[in-house]
Amino acid sequence: MADIAGLLAALDGIEVSTDRALLRQKSRDFYWYSPILKAILDGKAGELYARPKDEAEVLRILAACRAARVPVTTRGGGTGNYGQCVPLEGGVILDMTAMAKPISLTDGVVDVECGMKMIDLDLWARDQGWELKLWPSTKRTATIGGFVAGGGAGVGGIAHGTMRERGNLVGARVATMQDPPVVLDLEGDDASPVNRTYGTTGIMTRIRLPLTPAQEWRDIAIGFEKFTDASAFALALAFADGIPKKMCAVFDSQLPPFFRAIADSVPAGQSLVLTMVAPSGLRALRDLARDHNGTFLVEQSTVEAERDPDKTPFYEYCWNHTTLQVLKKDRGVSYLQCRFPFEDTLAAIEAVRVPFRDEVWMHTECVRFGGRTTMSALPVIRWTSAERMHEIMAAFEAVGIGIANPHVLTIEEGSNYRRVPGDQLGFKQRTDPLGLLNPGKMRDFVPAETTPA
């Protein structure tokens, strides 16, 4: 048990709390999407909640925790799915949401405090003619720091890839757990060790990201009698260089009934494509849909929908929000994260969709990896057992589909094709030699220093 009284004295003047209800709330994310993680993580909680307002307070907290040998688990909006903000060994929950200001925007690069909500950052940038290149389906609640530390894929991936692509993270300021803690200002490749490492390698305080010129995106829902036509259309759109697009997702016919605001607009038994396209591409999009036997069903302004709390931008039916939309009505499901081969992509989808159709409800997203276009998948899985889930994963892998397993806790086991290049392990041994930052989430880490008995 941590010396909470001693920490409280050391952290005088910083917002802290030992309220148990608050600690339970702030020690959770959406790990319960996975019955496997739910069994492991239910009941885990921190012992002290701390919410710093600036870098100086972050360093004070880290110094006190290092001196007392108390673990620190960083938290943003708590919208992740892998238990990355769940403390396995108690300690301090470090809530970064009070550090939520944009610092500057120069030559299309934004410097922003890590606790700023992505929706707020995007709307602020839009007022200056720019927008985020990438965002998760949880854009309206997620923080930019949480996205870089634990997500990194989502809307915009059809054009810009994921956060692991060189150039999508310009730099970061990172507080370490050294003796004493310091702030490192990392640029370019030097920032890779904090990209998608769950706060195990340092506490991001500020992030620098490249933006892209803002578009007045349109949400378009297109219906298809056949899933194969929907998939062929989506991949053709992904390769259509003349159509500006931000997102394209495909859903087998089991899924649209769970999409509350548009369910009644999708004819029964039809597959669905949801896409975001710039107004200049709408004519070409209609022609492409016609060529693949698709019918326009619903159209709305993305920006107007996300500004209205009573409306749903279509990206909130996509990426991992698909699983959430189903879980609202049916708690007997879970999900997977997959990437289909670059060659014969559509054949690989059908190779697993058809034999597993009763228990795998296919949902794919068009995305780029390493300059090549393919489809990623977050299918909804009818849950029966962990053994059956592993059988399904093995069947996917047998036909060349990559699995980033969302039912494990560690970076190494869960990343697969999503792993960010760089020496993350060596960086952690330098910046967190005692292993106090989010312990248990980096499988191969061995502390570089030992704690006195």
pLDDT (tens digit per residue) in 135-188: 999 999 999 999 999 988 999 999 999 999 999 999 999 999 999 999 999 999
Distance separating alpha carbons of residues 383 and 332, to the nearest angstrom: 6
Backbone angles phi, psi at 286, to 5 degrees: -60, -40
Q: What is the pLDDT of residues 207-249, one digit of tens each?
A: 999 999 999 999 999 999 999 999 999 999 999 999 999 999 9
Assess whether the previous peptide bond of 379 is cis (omega < 30° from 0). no
Q: What would the mean pLDDT of 119-148 be, rounded to a whole number?
A: 98
- Cα end-to-end distance, the chain, whole Å: 15
Kindly indicate whether the domain formed by 218-411 is annotated with CATH number 1.10.357.
Answer: no
Kindly indicate whether the domain formed by 4-95 is annotated with CATH number 3.30.43.10.
Answer: yes
DSSP 8-state secondary structure symbol assigned to residue 332: S
Do 291 and 253 touch, CB atoms closer than 8 A?
Answer: no
* Lowest pLDDT segment from 112-116, 166-170, 444-448: 444-448
DSSP 8-state secondary structure symbol assigned to residue 421: S
Please, where in the chain does CATH 3.30.465.10 lie? 102-213
Please, where in the chain does CATH 3.40.462 lie? 218-411
Do 224 and 294 touch, CB atoms closer than 8 A?
Answer: yes
Distance separating alpha carbons of residues 412 and 187, to the nearest angstrom: 24
Look at residue 451 in the predicted model and tell me its pLDDT.
Answer: 60
Q: Kindly report whether the global pTM for this prediction surpasses the value 0.75.
A: yes
Q: What would the mean pLDDT of 405-434 be, rounded to a whole number?
A: 92
| Cα–Cα distance list, 265 to 5, 6, 234 (Å) | 58, 59, 20
Please, where in the chain does CATH 3.30.43.10 lie? 4-95
Its sign, for the CA torsion 348, 351, 357, 359, is negative
Token pair, residue 12, equals 């005088």
With a pLDDT cut of 90, the percent of the chain lying above it is 96
Whether residue 2 has pLDDT greater than 80: no
Angle at 329 between CA 302 and CA 78, to 5 degrees: 60
Distance separating alpha carbons of residues 26 and 52, to the nearest angstrom: 15
Of 137, 141, 121, residue with least CA distance to 206: 121
Instruction: Choose which CATH entry (3.20.20.210, 3.30.465.10, 3.40.50.300, 1.10.150.130) describes domain 102-213.
Output: 3.30.465.10
